[in-house]
Amino acid sequence: MANKLWARASTRIRASQALVFQAFTDPELIKQYLFGTNASSDWKQGSDITYQGEWEGKKYLDKGKIIAIEPDRLLHTTYFSGMSGKEDKPENYANVIYTAEPAGEETIVTITQDNIDDAAGVKHMEENWNKVLEQMKKVLE
């Protein structure tokens, strides 16, 4: 995967680190900022995570595993989208990493994702993650 590209999006949210981290792991909050997605996991390292919903009239079931979880700071998951058109095998999973860093009365929230094929894919994913962060900001502030 060394030749694959990364996308990165970041924003400041006027909310505590604890509240931001809750937004990473609380299915009710996730649904509000992640395009109506139903996320399911026990939020423990090594556990499965699934995302289901409907996008542009098509039902989807995406999945991954929790690689690392550090309360109030970090959620690192793998992610595979059934809508990608790719085979469900390890090299087609992306790493998606959510971080929360304190910055006075705000929290800097960053989402990074790897395993992107080309510059157009990076642009698309950065636009996508920026929309997610805008929504998260609306939900939490």
Q: Dmax over Cα atoms in the chain, in whole Å?
A: 44
* CA dist., res. 77 & res. 67, Å (int): 5
Q: What are the φ/ψ torsions at residue 121 (nearest 5 degrees)?
A: -65, -40
- Each residue's pLDDT tens digit in the chain (141 positions)? 445 899 999 999 999 999 999 999 999 999 999 999 999 999 999 999 999 998 888 899 999 999 999 999 999 999 999 888 899 999 999 999 999 999 999 999 999 999 999 999 999 999 999 999 999 999 999
Domain chopping of the chain, boundaries: 5-140
pLDDT at 1: 40
* CA dist., res. 137 & res. 12, Å (int): 8
* CA dist., res. 111 & res. 12, Å (int): 12
pLDDT at 140: 98
Q: Select the CATH number that applies to the domain covering 5-140 from these four: 3.30.530.20, 3.10.100.10, 3.60.150.10, 3.30.70.260.
A: 3.30.530.20
pLDDT at 55: 82
Of 30, 11, 6, the residue nearest 100 (C-alpha): 11
Q: How far is CA 87 from the centre of its chain?
A: 21
pTM here is 0.93
8-state DSSP, 104: T
